[in-house]
Structure 1
């Protein structure tokens, strides 16, 4: 089973996305399932994971509605107010009854406080999330958030977490440095996973290819192993630096020399286990 473990939808007429302003150019419009479907069909992708794009119930409800309508949606990563634990608990009680709702994400990189995710109230909210057996997508952006992951892993060892987009390493600068140290530190915790996603927009938007991505994916493989890595297109954000097809092709090229098991894990096996996605019978 091939899985795109990180894609988005947004309908600007149905849900407000204040962060998505005209400065985002080509992606400042609605993107919905009809546009993605032929792309994943062509790539041979069986299932996708829709990931929240706004800290709102409206966005979550919209994604859950799409999941019911499209048989190729395997999971939804929604949102609850983790910093208000009592409210989060009530909402998770309701959402957990939905078979598509597999985890939560919060746009922590949009928070003014770079330490938001390690606030006591958020830690409490994450403990509640863990109690439901749900996952946490960490949309951290280096250098502000990656360093917090070991603390989270120690405070909530039963919470399965995944680092979206490798926390945006300095690919454009062709550097490793402090990012590599922090990424390796996070990898030491078995409940922490990482997504091979969003790397194209961390590279040079005009010239990137698989050779730019490979050193970072190789580094992730060394420290996480393939069974804790999963591919995601990050569509339609990916369109800022190419398109779905280029991300799919170049990502596959970057891992072409990996073993059959490693490729199978990265391209679907890990995501299926992490999010509890079942293959069609």
Structure 2
């Protein structure tokens, strides 16, 4: 299985300032050796690391792991999108192991930050390099902005992390749930947007099978299996019951699907989107 959304962090390599406000279980180091032990029982034999800090030091750390650890086949790294000169320099360097770019857009005070002129220039450079952009959306406004960018830049593949953060309690009568469904349907209408089935939690605890089934059904209806990727979101999942609870529920629902759809979610889509061997 291909884990399309794995984090690691090492405070000796980067600062991870956001962890000061995170659940205590997340504040310590979470290294690749621990990730392997948590995920291999679920059949994970390849993984893409996804940035968890906005420093070039963390980018170097992730690429060191790509070079050193056979589990890690690529990294979605941080680059300063507000600084297109640095992005251009990094694109020209063609650093081995880079399979995508991401910023912590959801942690920025301005939800419209990604629409800035410098950021858009950086996205043009990322497109020219043939890389996708992972995008975190926790607010409706974040999802609106992704729709704008994907419409204006059809040659760039956008990877919507965590399905754009569906509401923690799916309820067809709830306006937030309806809005999320409408927004992912609009995003899925654009062929350059794909989405990760990852980071799906109930409020304060692990996701229930019923919740996961509802969310996955909505995602499949919008995107289809060949535009969905499965990710563990380790170690964030440890704050919501752990890898065992998360992966058991997620994979049980994925494995209800026909074989070609299971393959797409478990391996095929991730390999295609990140330019890796299937």
Task: Place the TM-score, normalised by the shorter chain, in its bin.
Answer: over 0.9
Q: Once the two structures are superposed, what CA deviation does each residue of 1:190-247 show, in whole Å capped at 9, x if it has no partner?
A: 01000000002xx133363221111111111011010100000000001111111221
Would the aligned equivalents of 1:6 and 1:50 in 2 still touch at CA under 8 Å? yes
* 1:45-194 to 2 correspondences below 5 Å: 45-94=44-93, 96-98=94-96, 100-172=97-169, 174=171, 175=174, 176-194=177-195
| 2:263 pairs with 1:260 | no
Mean Cα deviation higher: 2-11 or 164-173: 164-173
Mean Cα deviation higher: 225-234 or 81-90: 81-90
Would the aligned equivalents of 1:142 and 1:179 in 2 still touch at CA under 8 Å? no
Alpha-carbon distance in 2 for matches of 1:6, 1:93: 26
1:217 aligns with 216
DSSP-derived class of the 2:89 partner = helix
Aligned residues: CA RMSD: 1.4
DSSP-derived class of the 2:211 partner = helix
Alpha-carbon distance in 2 for matches of 1:177, 1:245: 30
1:27 aligns with 26
Residue 119 of structure 1 deviates from its aligned partner by: 1.5
Would the aligned equivalents of 1:229 and 1:270 in 2 still touch at CA under 8 Å? yes
Which consecutive unaligned segments of at least 5 residues does structure 1 have? none
2:3 aligns with 4
Would the aligned equivalents of 2:206 and 2:246 in 1 still touch at CA under 8 Å? no
2:205 aligns with 206
Would the aligned equivalents of 1:164 and 1:194 in 2 still touch at CA under 8 Å? yes
Residue 110 of structure 1 deviates from its aligned partner by: 1.2
DSSP-derived class of the 1:77 partner = strand
Alpha-carbon distance in 2 for matches of 1:207, 1:251: 11
Alpha-carbon distance in 1 for matches of 2:95, 2:49: 18
Alpha-carbon distance in 2 for matches of 1:101, 1:274: 13
How many residue pairs match? The answer is 274
Mean Cα deviation higher: 11-20 or 223-232: 11-20
Question: TM-score, length-normalised on structure 2?
Answer: 0.95
Residue 173 of structure 1 deviates from its aligned partner by: 5.4
Alpha-carbon distance in 1 for matches of 2:5, 2:39: 12
1:151–1:89: structure 2 CA closer, same or farther, 3 Å change rule?
same
Alpha-carbon distance in 1 for matches of 2:56, 2:20: 20
1:36–1:147: structure 2 CA closer, same or farther, 3 Å change rule?
same
Which consecutive unaligned segments of at least 5 residues does structure 2 have? none
1:195 aligns with 196
